[in-house]
Amino acid sequence: MGKDKPSDNNKEALGRRELLKLGGIGLGTGLIGNAFGQSGQKAAAHQQVSQWPGAFDPQETHPPYPPRDRPKPGEKIHVHDIEVTIGLHEIVPGVQTHMFMFNKSYPGPEIRVKEGDWVQVNLKNTSPEFHTIHWHGIMVPMEMDGVPLGTQWPVAPNQEFRYLWRAQPAGTHFYHCHVMTTLHQQAGLVGSLIVEPKEPDIVQKTFPYKREYTMILSELDTNFVRNMMSEMVEMGVQMERMNHSAKMMREMNGKMMGWFKSKEEFVKAVKNGYIPPYLAARTGTAMPITPNYFMINGKSYPMTDPLMIRRGENIRVRLIAGGFMPHFIHLHGHDFWHVCQDGSPLATPVRMNTIPIYPGTTSDIVIQGTNPGFWHLHDHSDLATTNNGQHPGGMMTMLMYEDAREAGVKWEEVIAISS
Amino acid sequence: MKIQINRIGILAAGALTAASQAQTQQNPVQQISLQPQIEIAGSGLATLDFGREGMFGGRGIGSRSQINFSDSSLSFGVAQRMYRGAIGSFTLGGIAIDEANNGHGKQIFMHQAFADFQELRFEGYIGRTNTPTAQIVAFPTIREDDLVDYTSVLNPFSNGANPEEHRYSNVAGAVFNSGLHHFVNVHAQHQIDSAGVGQSDTGLNSVGISFQYEGNPALTTIDRFPSFGFGVESRAVNKSFGGTSNVFYGGGVLNLQPGLVDKLDLRLLGQVSFGNDTNTLTTLNDTYRADQESIALSLRKLYSPFGKPASQIALTTGMKRYSKVPNANSYGVALSYGKSLGQGFDFVSQIGYERRSSAMTSAFGGHSDAMVLQFGLSFNFGSTFNQSIGPRRSPTNLLHQYIPN
């Protein structure tokens, strides 16, 4: 796959000691195998304990390219400008909410690059809050990882930050703000990041497809977002004003923001009167987050976009868990193939009709046009198929056959009867 | 005294709960079960008072010391989004009053019972609530009616037994705004006529218009002028009690030392009333309707380490003179201190002194001066249930596009 990838002979050269060292990891891997690999499971049952399924390569998680490389003269760099603002987003008609936005859209613009390409993202922050971008699943150099106060200073209002990294590994990934993630990601700062493989795509080879869809799954507590955004905006407005007063610049230091260099400094501040937010929430109350809208690409049913297919066609669907809740996506009338997890192809595709998507993960599935009609695709955790508690709504869309009529589906009659 | 700045704002109603429907007449438009946003806000305030002698507007005349829980209040509000983006609400609340002279001690005064309709540019409200004249500036004394002779536009119809009558009335108001910063309030009132000096008992006895500027709530401690306003009110006092009493009033807050940690602000309210011919002050009501000029000033130091209010000390003074009553003037001063012991929970203390000229003493039971020392605790809280609506003037709504949620 990548130029630094070790040869297949390496795995054969692994000694017994190395295999034993991997035993702990192997337990977890085995569980995943149980969940996702039916044929692998059967094969494992007939093999010795010290042996792994044939496709296993212990160095497969190594970055294809050294992450700390710099672009060499002549290498192409894809440049993306991303601006963070605050705007209004309509989830369904009549329900608007203030959101943080990448380039005035929610979700943010999809970034799609080839594996091994250099990517430069110029982040411009014109909102009153701090932001970063974390490249979720990408093997970036540490300084580009977007963790505020961990790997970089957060990007302040009216500041810019330039991210530069190499697109690796291939697969379905996403990006999100990592500042106060509970709010910022929920309040809109998330987007898809697709790294197309440099080598021929195994999914494309196995299931030739022309159309693909990306579905970012997320949820929102409109009360939490409203209250916390208001608090954050308030603080941002104060900080902007602080810039014009030396006295306030001294007053509004990192400690006021809850930033401490060490545990000792934090403990000392508490003794000196600092009240941690868990004792006195900025909003006055610390209510648990209770999402009331569940979205696919920022929209709740019936405003979600359908997936279009024709008989005999394969479509690839990239599912991205861009929120904080697990979802269980079920397709009516079909089985589908789970082909990739967190960007990487599975050892073998797995046949399913309901796929769990846990926060932070991505799953690619291939749907085959085998049963013409109009089919529901939805989260089977039924709370997520509501809008503000009312069903139907939420994380629901349709798989629609464009040639259903030709296949004899008399959908007009169904609608007429239903109506 | 409320050290915590972000006191909950009761939004109020729009629709009645099933329980209240059972007790009141049927909703004339639609009768369905609703789940509106519910807000409960309260203020518990209890002090041990020493040496009261007709202090603060005549309240408690004759009592030398007492356990005082006046100004404690509990309000209940329900609010709901309307069909096309507006918000409807209803608020109901009562406040403990200090009516020591009636022999029954403490009583509850209904200070809130109003319906409100608001959208981006307009708000209309009807019912019992804060009199519009009391909304220009609030002073940091322990109780909002401390030094009421100077810090409030007085109700010329009150007999003085209940100082809440200066702060609350029956109002029908229409408020127009520009950018949710500039507000013009046109209103008619029935101010409570406990003295019986009005044209009628229940009719509209006061009309007025006021202008108010409110800055971004995020910058309350930073803006030099976070709020100010002025207005005029015409009160229909019966001719046999001196005739109409009109008043011009204006005031605001000036941040002398803006800051997030150390803040020093100055509050000011000035008023001139005219048109009434009362020329002797023999009752408390005389002192409310007679032509007068007064000014109230308050200097407050607020200390908020790490951005959270922890303590404040305030010096509030007021002066007054009566233009048609010879040798009638008074002044008062209060030094107030509060320290936060927890969110919304404060220790409070205050020492107050008030001095009146000889022409006023008969109205105050013969007392020319009074002094009170107070210690106590206060707890201000607000809780929201079934939340679906946010503050109309949130920083997000003010700085970005307004949405009625």
Asked if residue A248 has pLDDT above 80, the reply is no
- CA separation for the pair A289, B167 (Å, rounded): 39
Nearest residue on chain B to A85, alpha-carbon basis:
B400
Residue-level pLDDT at B19:
35
Which residue has 């796929």 as its token pair? A355
pLDDT digits (tens, 9 = 90+) for A313-339: 999 999 999 999 999 999 999 999 999
- CA separation for the pair B400, A98 (Å, rounded): 8
A246-260, B102-116, B191-205 — which one is most confidently predicted on average? B191-205
pLDDT: which is higher, A14 or A174: A174
Domain A293-418 has CATH 3.40.640.10: no
Asked if residue B399 has pLDDT above 80, the reply is no
Asked if residue A54 has pLDDT above 60, the reply is yes
Residue-level pLDDT at B58:
53
Residue-level pLDDT at B392:
82
pLDDT: which is higher, B5 or B380: B380
pLDDT digits (tens, 9 = 90+) for A136-172: 999 999 999 999 988 999 999 999 999 999 999 999 9
Is A293-418 in the same CATH topology as A77-199?
yes
Taking alpha carbons only, the member of A177, A184, A176, A157 closest to residue A99 is A184
Indicate the burial class of B319 (C-beta count within 10 angstroms; 0-12, 13-18, 19 or more).
middle
Classify A203 as helix, strand or coil: helix
Residue-level pLDDT at A308:
97
Residue-level pLDDT at B30:
56
8 Å CB contact between A282 and A92: no
Task: Write the ipTM.
Answer: 0.74
Question: What integer best gives the mean pLDDT of chain B?
Answer: 85
What is the average pLDDT across A256-265? Answer: 80
B219·A98 Cβ contact <8 A: no
CA distance, residue B36 to nearest chain A CA (Å): 13
- Residue B384: list chain A partners with CB under 8 A: 285
Residue-level pLDDT at A361:
98
CA distance, residue A302 to nearest chain B CA (Å): 20
Q: Which residues contact A248 (CB under 8 A, 6 or more apart)?
A: A238, A241, A242, B222, B258, B259, B260
pLDDT digits (tens, 9 = 90+) for B17-76: 333 333 444 455 555 567 889 999 999 999 998 887 666 655 545 556 778 888 899 999
- CA separation for the pair A399, A239 (Å, rounded): 48
- CA separation for the pair B24, B4 (Å, rounded): 36
A230·B222 Cβ contact <8 A: no
Residue-level pLDDT at A194:
98
Taking the CA atoms of A213, A216, A217 and A223 in sequence, report the sign of the dihedral they define. Answer: negative
A230·B307 Cβ contact <8 A: no
What is the average pLDDT across B276-301? Answer: 95
8 Å CB contact between A301 and A396: yes
What is the average pLDDT across A118-139? Answer: 96
Indicate the burial class of A150 (C-beta count within 10 angstroms; 0-12, 13-18, 19 or more).
exposed
Q: Which of B218, B382, B390 faces A238 most closely, judged by CB atoms? A: B218
Q: Which of A95, A229, A237 faces B219 most closely, judged by CB atoms? A: A237
Q: Is B308 on the interface with A (CB under 8 A)?
A: yes
Element spanning B251, H or E: strand B245-257
pLDDT digits (tens, 9 = 90+) for A340-377: 999 999 989 999 999 999 999 999 999 999 999 999 99
- Residue A241: list chain B partners with CB under 8 A: 219, 222
CA distance, residue A336 to nearest chain B CA (Å): 39
Asked if residue B92 has pLDDT above 60, the reply is yes
8 Å CB contact between B311 and B301: no
- For chain A, the distance separating the N- and C-terminal CA atoms, rounded to the nearest angstrom, is 54
Asked if residue B391 has pLDDT above 90, the reply is no
Residue-level pLDDT at A55:
62
Asked if residue B100 has pLDDT above 80, the reply is no
Residue-level pLDDT at A242:
79
CATH number assigned to the domain covering B18-399: 2.40.160.10
Element spanning A45, H or E: helix A38-45
Q: Is B83 on the interface with A (CB under 8 A)?
A: no
Q: Which residues contact B365 (CB under 8 A, 6 or more apart)?
A: B54, B58, B61, B62
Asked if residue A29 has pLDDT above 70, the reply is no
Q: Is A228 on the interface with B (CB under 8 A)?
A: no
- In DSSP notation, A289-351 reads P---EEEETTB-BTSSPPEEE-TT-EEEEEEEE-SSS-EEEEETT--EEEEEETTEEEEEEEE
pLDDT digits (tens, 9 = 90+) for B329-350: 999 999 999 999 988 899 999 9
What is the average pLDDT across B179-186? Answer: 95
Nearest residue on chain B to A221, alpha-carbon basis:
B388
What is the average pLDDT across B92-106? Answer: 68
- How confident is residue B405, by pLDDT bands cut at 50, 70 and 90? low
pLDDT digits (tens, 9 = 90+) for B193-249: 999 998 766 689 999 999 999 999 889 888 999 999 999 999 999 999 999 999 999
- CA separation for the pair B99, A263 (Å, rounded): 54
The distance from CA A134 to its chain's CA centroid, rounded to whole angstroms, is: 10
Inter-chain CB pairs, A–B, below 8 Å: 90
Residue-level pLDDT at A9:
38
Question: Would you list the domain boundaries of chain A?
Answer: 1-62, 77-199, 223-271, 293-418
The structure tokens listed for B361 are 């003493």
CA distance, residue B219 to nearest chain A CA (Å): 6
- Phi/psi for A230 (5° steps) reads -60, -40
Of A353-367, B84-98, B307-321, least confident by mean pLDDT is B84-98
What is the average pLDDT across A223-247? Answer: 85
CA distance, residue A192 to nearest chain B CA (Å): 26
Question: Would you list the domain boundaries of chain B?
Answer: 18-399
Asked if residue B126 has pLDDT above 70, the reply is yes
Q: Which of B222, B258, B305 faces A273 most closely, judged by CB atoms? A: B305
Taking alpha carbons only, the member of B350, B323, B320 closest to residue B57 is B320
Classify B149 as helix, strand or coil: helix
pLDDT: which is higher, B89 or B306: B89
The structure tokens listed for A59 are 């160095």
CATH topology of domain A77-199: Immunoglobulin-like (2.60.40)
DSSP, res A288: P
Q: Is A127 on the interface with B (CB under 8 A)?
A: no
Residue-level pLDDT at A40:
42
Nearest residue on chain A to B380, alpha-carbon basis:
A284
Question: What integer best gives the mean pLDDT of chain A?
Answer: 85
